[in-house]
C-alpha cells in the first residue's frame, strides 16, 4: 500500500508531490467562468438557478434566520456544543496575540504613520456535504472578528432539504459570524465578490472549498482579496527509533483520509521503524471508515523515506515545506529549531495533528504544496490592511526638497520634480 | 483636457476607472507562457537568447561584478549618492518598526508558538529603460534586508551596451542587495522562479515591471510568492476652497506623467477651485517634459469631481480606495481619520506625493485599482513567514481528548479520532 524508498530516490518523491497539484481542469474553468458571468449579470436569479441545479433545492430566502440558529442550539448534542466552546476559547487565546498596532514616528515636524484598520466586509466560505466542518467556521471567523471586521458573512451550501448542519450553525454563532446565507459553489463566491440584491459585496473571501470554489476564488482574486488557493492536504512525520510505529501510522492516516490527493510521508533514519509502520498501516487501515480513500492516497502520494540520519530528514522536510510536520524523535524541541519551512509543527508523541485541526488554538488553514517557504497560516493579519500616512510641514520639505528633486530628475520624472518646485517657485524667482 | 463632472455622474467615473485595468492581453499571454517554458527547460541558454532578442545585447556573465559597482560609485553625482543615502536612512527608520516578533503562549504543560522566520531567498525585479528607478531598488530591498532574508537577489535588464545605470547599482549597494544579475523581462521572472545554472531559484519575487513582467509574475505566483500584480498608478486629491490650485494641478500631473493609463482625480466641494485647477493644468502641462503622456492620461482617466460637501468627497475616496490620496483642506488631520481605504495618505500642502515616492520613508509600493480595501503597502512582513508550533504533554492531551474525538466524529473524520484514541487504547481496554 505504501512504498518505502531510499533518500537517493528523493527527486522521484519530489516529482510525485509536485505533479499532485498540477492538474489541468479545462472543463471546470469554463463552467466557473460562465457561472461568474451569470451571477454578475443576473444576481439573485442566477444564484437561485445554480442552487437548484447543484444543491437540488429551491431556496426562497438565502438568509439563515434567528429561529434556525436557536433551533440548532436546541438540537445539538450539548457535549459537542461545549467542545466547540472550548475550541473557540483556545483559538481566541492564541490569535489575539496577532493584533497589529498602528505606529507613528515623529521626526521634527514630520510625522509618519502606519495605520492599521480592519477590512470592512469579509466573506467566509464553508463547504457543505461530507466536508462540512464546524472547525472551518471557527478557524476563519474568529480571526476576522478579532481583527475588527464589521461584517463577517458566511455562506455555505444547504442540504437537499434546505437545512444546514446544527454544528455549523452553532459554530458560526459561537465565532461571531454576523450573517449566514445558504449558498455554495462558484455561484456563492461570485455573489460575495460582486454582490447581489441579497448578498453583500465583500472585500475579501476566505475559506476552503472544492475545485469549483477554488477556481472561482482564483478568478475573482485581485478584484477582491482571497486567503489562498489551497492544494490537497499534507503531513510529513520525522521519526526515529524511539517513535511508536502505531502512532506514526495512525497520524499518517489521519491526513490520508482527507482526500485521495492528500500526501502522507514518513521520513526516518530507522529501517526497523519503516517496516513496523508499514505493517501497522496495513493492520489499522482495515479498522477505519474511509479505508478506500486512505489506501488510494497512501499508494499514490504516500511514502516512507529512509535516510542515513536525522539531519538528512530535516533537510528533506525543509525542501518539501509540508503543511503539517510532526516530530516524533528523542529530542523533538531541539530538532524543531532546525525546521525552517513548515505550516505547523507538532512536537512529541502527545501532539498528533488533529490536536491542531480542532482544538489547540493555532489556525488550521495552513500553506500547502510547499508554499510554507513563503506564506503563513491564516491569522488576524489577513483581516487587516495598512495605510501609510505622511505629513511634512514647510520646513521639513525645505530640508528635503533638493534631494527629492534630484532623485526625480535622475528618474526622468520631471512632473514629480515640478510638484515640489512649484511650492517654492516665488522664492526662487 | 480634463473633464469636470458632478458627483451624480459618479458611476460613470467608477466605470472609467474599472475598465482601465480590465484589458485583455491574449498575445502577451502566449508569448509569456512560451518564454517561461523555454527558461524552465533550457535555463541559461534560453535567458541568453531572450536577452539578445529583447534587450539587443549579448551578455556573457549575467552577474554584476564588484568592479562595475565600484565604478558606479565613482561615476555617480556625489550629491545624488547622498540623496539616496538620506532616502535609505528614512526608509530604514520607518520600516524597522514593522519587524514581527515570534510569540509563545504557555498553558499548563502545553506550549503554543507563532514562530517568525525570514523567507530564505527573494528576487527583486527592477525595470530597465525609461522606468529604471533607484527608488524601486531601495523600496524593495530594504524591507527584505530588515526581515533577515539571507539572499536578496536583484535582476534588471541591461542597456543595449550591456551596462546598468549608475544610480541603480549604487542604490542596490546602499540597500544591501546581495547579488545583481543583468536579466529582465518574463525570462528574468522565469529564471528567478525556476532557477538556472547561474540564477538561484528564489521563494518570492517582488518589484514592478511592464505587462510581460506582470503576466510572468502572475503565472509563477503560487509556485513562488509574489508581492502583487500592480495596476497603473493613481492619485486622488480631496481639496477645498483653501487649496492652492497650482499645487493641486502639479500634484495631479505628477501621477499622470507615469503612464497614459494613470488616473488623476480631484474631488472638491468648490466649483471655483475646480475651474482654477483646470486652467492651471492647461497652463502648467506645456512647461513639462512628458506633456503627451500627461495630456492623454488626464483626458482618458482624469476627472475633477464636484461634490456638495467634503463628506461626499470622503465617501467617494473610500469607494475608489486610491493608491495615493492627498488631503488639501482646512483641517486635513481630522479629515484623515475618516479615510478608511487608501494606500497612502499625504497630509497638507507641503506633503506632495513625490515626498512619499522617494524620500519620507513609507514604502512607495502601494495597492492600486481599489485593492487598498483589502491589501497594504509593501512592508517587512512581506518578507517573513510564520510557522505554528504546538506541544501538548500527556496530561494536556488527556484533558482535551474527548472534545477532539467528538468534533472529529461530527466531521466524519474517524481516522482523525483514531490518531487520538490509539494513544490511550491500552488504558481503554
Convert the pLDDT of each residue in B51-100 to its tens digit: 999 999 999 899 999 999 999 999 999 999 999 999 999 999 999 999 99
**Is residue B429 predicted with pLDDT exceeding 60?**
no
Is-contact B293 B257, C-beta < 8 A?
A: yes
| Strands in A259-407 per DSSP E | 263-268, 303-306, 324-328, 344-347, 384-391
CA distance B46 to B67: 27
DSSP string, B79-92: HHHHHHHHHHHHHH
Q: Where are the domains of chain B?
A: 4-21+231-360, 26-226, 393-428
B355 and A400 Cβ atoms separated by less than 8 Å? yes
Q: How confident is the model over A233-262, as a mean pLDDT?
A: 95
Same fold? A4-21+231-360, A26-226? yes
Reported as a pLDDT band with limits 50, 70 and 90, residue B323 is: very high
Query: Looking at the predicted structure, is the pLDDT value of residue A6 above 90?
Result: no
For residue A428, is pLDDT > 60?
A: no
Q: Is A374 close to B254, i.e. CB distance below 8 A?
A: no
Alpha carbons B310 and B289: distance in angstroms, whole number = 34
Query: From the candidates A386, A394, A409, A417, which should be mutated to test the interface with B, based on the most B CB atoms within 10 A?
Result: A386
State how far the Cα of A324 lies from the Cα of A233, in Å rounded to an integer. 8
- Could you tell me if B168 and B138 are in contact, meaning their C-beta atoms sit under 8 angstroms apart? no
For chain B, the farthest-separated pair of C-alpha atoms sits apart, in whole angstroms, at 91
Calculate the CA A13 to chain-centre distance.
25
Q: Which residue has the higher pLDDT, A410 or B324?
A: B324
Least confident span in A216-230, A316-330, B361-375: A216-230
- Over 80: is that where the pLDDT of B23 sits? no
The answer to whether the CB of A55 falls within 8 A of the CB of A245 is: no
DSSP 3-state assignment of B353? coil
CA proximity to A383, closest of A157, A217, A202, A254: A202
Q: Residue B6 has what pLDDT?
A: 76
- Torsion sign across C-alpha atoms A364, A367, A372, A374: negative
Strand partners, B219: none
Please say whether the beta carbons of A152 and A122 come within 8 A.
Answer: yes
CB distance A358–B394 less than 8 Å? no
User: How far is the C-alpha of B392 from the C-alpha of B112, rounded, in Å?
Assistant: 9
Hey, are the CB atoms on B422 and A386 less than 8 Å from each other? no
Burial call A329-358: b when 16+ CB within 10 Å, e when fewer: beebeebbeebbbbbbbbbbbbbbbbbbbb
Are the C-beta atoms of residues B373 and B92 closer than 8 Å to each other?
Answer: no
Distance between CA atoms of residues B93 and A104, nearest Å? 11
Cβ atoms of residues A381 and A98 within 8 Å: yes
Q: What is the ipTM of this complex?
A: 0.95
Q: What are the angstrom distances between the C-alpha of A142 and each of A123, B56, B407?
A: 13, 54, 17
Separation between Cα atoms, residue A318 and residue A274, nearest integer Å: 20
Residue of B nearest to A355 (CA): B404
Chain B nearest-CA residue for A257: B415
Residue set of the binding site of A for Zn(2+): 255, 258, 357, 416
> Residue A429 — very low, low, confident or very high, per pLDDT cuts 50/70/90?
very low
- For B235, the enclosing helix (H) or strand (E) is strand B234-239
Chain B CA closest to residue A412: B130
Would you please indicate which residues of A are annotated as catalytic (active-site) residues? 323-324
How far, in Å, CA of A234 to CA of A254, rounded?
Answer: 10
Grouping H, G, I as helix, E, B as strand and the rest as coil, residue A290 is coil
Residue of A nearest to B103 (CA): A97
Assign B311 to helix, strand or coil: helix
Domain B4-21+231-360 fold is Rossmann fold (3.40.50)
Q: How many Cα atoms occupy the beta-carbon half-sphere of B291 within 13 Å?
A: 8
How large is the average pLDDT for residues A32-47? Answer: 96
pLDDT in tens, B112-130: 999 999 999 999 999 998 7
Tens-digit pLDDT profile for residues A93-143: 999 999 999 999 998 889 999 999 999 999 999 999 877 899 999 999 999
Q: How far lies B297's CA from each of A242, B2, B234, B259, in Å?
A: 69, 9, 11, 7
Residues A85-95 have pLDDT tens digits of: 999 999 999 99
Q: How confident is the model at residue B212 (pLDDT cuts 50, 70, 90)?
A: very high
Separation in Å, CA of A44 to nearest CA in chain B: 22
A256 DSSP assignment: H
- Test B119 with A408 for CB contact under 8 angstroms: no
Chain A / chain B CB contacts < 8 angstroms: 363
A13 band by pLDDT with thresholds 50, 70 and 90: confident
Would the CB atoms of A418 and B80 count as touching at under 8 Å?
no
Give the pLDDT mean for B175-191: 98
Q: Which residues of A42-52 are buried (b: 16+ CB within 10 A; e: fewer)?
A: ebeebbbbbbe
d(CA B100, CA B85): 25
pLDDT of residue A231: 83
Cβ-based contacts of B358 with chain A (< 8 Å): 403-404, 407-408, 416
Q: What is the mean pLDDT of chain B?
A: 94
Write out the H or E segment, with its range, that includes residue B115. strand B110-118
> With contacts defined as CB-CB under 8 Å, which chain B residues touch A403?
82-83, 86-87, 358-359
Is the pLDDT reported for residue B1 higher than 60? Answer: yes
Do the beta carbons of residue A309 and residue A269 sit within 8 Å?
yes
Q: Which of B257, B332, B390, B427 to mutate to test the interface with A (most CBs of A within 10 A)?
A: B390
| Structure confidence by residue, pLDDT tens digits, B345-393 | 999 999 999 999 999 999 999 999 999 999 999 999 999 999 999 999 9
Element (H, E) at B206: strand B204-206
Buried b (16+ CB within 10 A) or exposed e, B347-366: bbbbbbbbbbbbbbbbbbbb
Length of chain B counted residue by residue: 429
CA distances B359 to A168, B85, B258, Å, are 51, 10, 18
Region for residue A250 given its phi and psi (left: phi exceeds 0; alpha: psi -120 to 50; beta: otherwise): alpha
Burial A81-93 (b: 16+ CB within 10 A, else e): bebbebbbebbbe
Q: What are phi and psi of B277, to 5 degrees?
A: -65, -40
Chain B residues lying within 8 Å of A82, measured CB to CB: 403
Cβ atoms within 10 Å, residue A253: 31
In the prediction, which pLDDT does B135 show? 96
Residue B428 has pLDDT above 60, yes or no: no
| Residues 6 or more apart in contact with residue B353 via CB below 8 angstroms | A419, B235, B251, B254, B255, B324, B326, B346
Dihedral over alpha carbons A139, A144, A145, A148 (to 10 degrees): 160
Q: Spell out which residues of chain B touch residue A229, defining contact as CB-CB under 8 Å.
A: 222
The answer on pLDDT for B272 being more than 80 is yes
Binding residues of B for substrate: 233, 255, 258, 324, 357, 411, 416
Rounded distance between C-alpha atoms, residue B390 and residue B187, angstroms: 41
Task: Residue A139: name the closest of A368, A364, A380 by CA.
Answer: A364
Selected for mutation to probe chain B from A251, A355, A375 (highest B CB count within 10 Å) is A355
User: Which chain A residues touch B24 with a CB distance below 8 Å?
Assistant: none
Across all residues in chain A, what is the average pLDDT? 94
Least-confidence region, from A195-204, A389-398, B24-33: B24-33
**CATH for the A26-226 domain, from 3.40.50.1980, 3.30.1360.70, 3.30.420.40, 3.40.50.970:** 3.40.50.1980
Residue (of A290, A360, A317) closest to B393 by Cα position: A360
| Residue A24, pLDDT score | 57
pLDDT band at A12 (very low <50, low <70, confident <90, very high): confident
Amino acid at each position: 500500500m505504501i512504498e518505502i524508498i531510499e533518500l537517493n530516490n528523493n527527486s522521484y518523491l519530489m516529482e510525485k508531490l509536485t505533479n499532485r497539484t498540477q492538474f489541468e481542469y479545462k472543463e471546470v474553468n469554463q463552467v466557473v467562468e460562465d457561472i461568474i458571468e451569470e451571477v454578475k449579470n443576473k444576481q439573485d436569479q442566477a444564484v437561485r438557478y445554480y442552487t437548484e441545479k447543484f444543491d437540488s433545492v429551491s431556496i426562497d430566502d438565502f438568509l439563515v434566520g434567528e429561529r434556525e440558529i436557536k433551533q440548532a442550539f436546541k438540537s445539538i448534542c450539548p457535549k459537542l456544543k461545549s467542545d466547540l466552546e472550548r475550541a473557540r476559547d483556545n483559538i481566541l487565546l492564541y490569535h489575539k496575540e496577532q493584533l497589529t498596532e498602528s505606529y507613528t514616528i515623529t521626526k521634527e515636524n514630520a510625522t509618519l504613520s502606519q495605520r492599521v484598520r480592519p477590512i470592512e466586509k469579509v466573506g467566509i466560505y464553508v463547504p457543505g456535504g461530507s466536508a462540512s466542518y464546524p472547525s472551518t467556521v471557527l478557524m476563519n471567523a474568529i480571526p476576522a472578528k478579532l481583527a475588527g471586521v464589521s461584517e463577517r458573512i458566511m455562506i455555505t451550501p444547504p442540504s437537499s432539504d434546505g437545512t444546514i448542519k446544527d454544528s455549523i450553525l452553532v459554530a458560526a454563532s459561537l465565532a461571531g459570524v454576523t450573517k449566514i446565507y445558504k449558498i455554495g459553489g462558484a455561484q456563492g463566491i461570485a455573489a460575495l465578490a460582486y454582490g447581489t440584491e441579497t448578498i453583500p459585496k465583500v472585500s475579501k473571501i476566505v475559506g476552503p472549498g472544492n475545485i469549483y470554489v477554488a477556481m472561482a476564488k482564483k478568478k475573482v482574486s485581485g478584484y477582491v482579496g482571497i486567503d489562498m488557493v489551497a492544494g490537497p492536504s499534507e503531513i510529513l512525520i520525522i521519526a526515529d527509533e524511539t517513535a511508536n510505529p502505531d502512532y506514526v501510522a495512525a497520524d499518517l492516516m489521519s491526513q490520508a483520509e482527507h482526500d485521495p490527493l492528500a500526501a502522507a510521508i514518513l521520513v526516518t533514519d530507522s529501517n526497523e521503524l519503516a517496516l513496523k509502520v508499514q505493517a501497522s498501516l496495513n493492520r489499522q487501515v482495515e479498522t477505519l471508515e474511509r479505508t478506500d480513500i486512505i489506501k488510494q492516497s497512501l499508494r499514490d502520494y504516500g511514502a516512507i523515506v529512509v535516510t542515513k540520519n536525522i539531519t538528512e530528514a530535516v533537510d528533506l522536510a525543509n525542501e518539501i515545506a509540508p503543511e503539517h510536520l510532526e516530530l516524533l524523535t528523542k529530542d523533538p524541541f531541539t530538532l524543531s529549531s532546525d525546521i525552517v519551512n513548515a505550516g505547523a509543527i507538532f512536537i512529541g508523541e502527545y501532539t498528533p495533528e488533529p490536536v491542531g485541526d480542532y482544538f489547540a488554538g493555532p489556525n488550521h488553514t495552513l500553506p500547502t504544496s510547499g508554499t510554507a517557504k513563503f506564506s503563513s497560516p491564516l491569522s488576524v493579519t489577513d483581516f487587516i490592511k495598512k495605510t501609510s500616512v505622511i505629513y511634512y510641514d514647510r520646513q521639513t520639505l525645505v530640508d528635503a526638497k533638493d534631494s527629492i528633486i534630484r532623485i526625480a530628475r535622475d528618474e526622468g520624472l520631471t512632473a514629480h520634480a515640478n510638484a515640489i518646485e512649484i511650492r517654492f517657485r516665488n522664492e526662487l524667482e
